[in-house]
Amino acid sequence: MELKRTPFYSLIKEMGGKFVPFAGWEMPIKFSSDVEEHKWVRSDAGVFDVSHMGEITIKGKDALKQVNYLITNDASTLKDGEILYTPMMNHRGGTVDDLLVYRVSEESFFLVVNASNIDKDYEWMLNNNKYETDIVNVSDSFAQLAVQGPNAESIVQNLFVENLSEIKFFNFKYLKFDNETILISRTGYTGEDGFEIYIPLHIAESFWRELFNKGELLGLKPIGLAARDTLRLEKKMALYGHELSDTISPLEASLSWCVKMGKLEFVGKEYLLKQKDTLKRKLVGVELIDKGVPRHQNEITLEDGTPIGFVTSGTMSPSLQKPIALVIIDSQYAKIGTEIWLKSNQKLKKAKVIKTPFL
């Protein structure tokens, strides 16, 4: 299958982006150094091309009910212009995807889903359209940029007349750029301050140029997806296919803060009611004490090699300069300070459960 390219492909190529196939797209994995890019986002500001992400709208008089039926978090707490993060479950206790829900109005929601799950999510929503709402996959209409880092606001502010400090965390606004409407939200996947910006395709390139025109002097740099992954991991943000999957429930992924059991109904509720008091495994953070780097799917064991779980994501943390991992293990070993072992390169390496987020 031919890989898709975002509207920023040529601009990013000119800037030295190194591309890899990702979820059907040709995406920049890094520019020169993923470690330096990571640190730059923590100290200054960077921009990520995340145009591969999907967008789905749900509209109709029962849009709120429909959204709330699909997700585990509670969208009824949202006012217009507010956003929440939530898993969306299947009927078997697994997770279809994790997404952001933007409330435009009670009758109109904008959902942002993972690139690799767009088709699956869309089909799932259509098949579970209990309230007969109007569900449309609008992924091909938007480019998306994430500007992240302590200097993000001062950089993005230069492109808009409106005062961006008025957009609070997990809020969004429609603003004008070049007489076109752009959706801008104070959200991100790095744990830093910043914005995610949804741009109509035909002005995407001019938006990028203007962003760098104004932002370069303030230290804006393009950042690859490798750094995005390590940035989110240090902050314990879930990555679908790792911490969450069709066979991992939101409770097992330690996302109980976005599961609202008090809601009247939602897909997965019955399963979670049974699971919540006898949660057999859960997600915790681990630091490797011996040398090495934990990797996705490495086994977690006891000292004698008995398996008790697996690594969902692992890396050498660029900020902390130590090997860290998120792991799903038997609940009895999940207490902070518990010593566990990581199987890597046919060896058992000592690790321990530590507090998260790591940073």
Partner 1 sequence: MSQVVDGFGYTKEHEWVKVESGFAFVGITDYAQGELGEVVYAEFLKVEGDSIEKGDDFASLESTKSTSQVFSPVSGEVVAYNSKIEDDYEIINSDPFGDGWIVKIKLSEPSQIGQLMGATEYKAFLDTL
With CB under 8 A as the contact rule, which of the stretches 7-15, 34-42, 140-148, 255-263 interacts with partner 1? 34-42
User: How far apart (Å, rounded) are the C-alpha atoms in residues 182 and 143?
Assistant: 10
Number of residues that bind partner 1 (CB under 8 A): 19
Q: Residue from 89, 118, 145, 226 that binds partner 1 (CB under 8 A)?
A: 226
In the bound state with partner 1, the residue whose beta carbon lies nearer, of 61 and 322, is 322
35 binds partner 1 (CB under 8 A): yes
**Residue list 162-201, contact with partner 1 (CB under 8 A):** none
User: How far apart (Å, rounded) are the C-alpha atoms in residues 35 and 43?
Assistant: 13
Tokens representing 54?
């999907």
With CB under 8 A as the contact rule, which of the stretches 29-37, 91-99, 125-133, 144-152 interacts with partner 1? 29-37
User: How far apart (Å, rounded) are the C-alpha atoms in residues 326 and 96?
Assistant: 20
Q: Would you say 347 and 284 are in contact if contact means Cβ atoms under 8 Å apart?
A: no
> 89 by DSSP, 3-state: which?
strand
Alpha helices (H) along 241-325? 269-275
> Mask: binding to partner 1, 258-297, rule CB under 8 A, as x and -?
---------------------------------xxx-x--
Q: Residue from 185, 230, 249, 312 that binds partner 1 (CB under 8 A)?
A: 230
In the bound state with partner 1, the residue whose beta carbon lies nearer, of 37 and 62, is 37
| Minimal distance, residue 324 CB to partner 1, in Å | 11
Between helices 34-43 and 225-234, what is the axis angle to 10°?
60
| C-alpha dist (Å) from residue 332 to 9, 177, 205, 279 | 48, 53, 52, 10
- Interface residues toward partner 1, by CB under 8 A: 18, 29-30, 33-35, 38, 226, 229-230, 291-293, 295, 315-316, 318, 323, 345
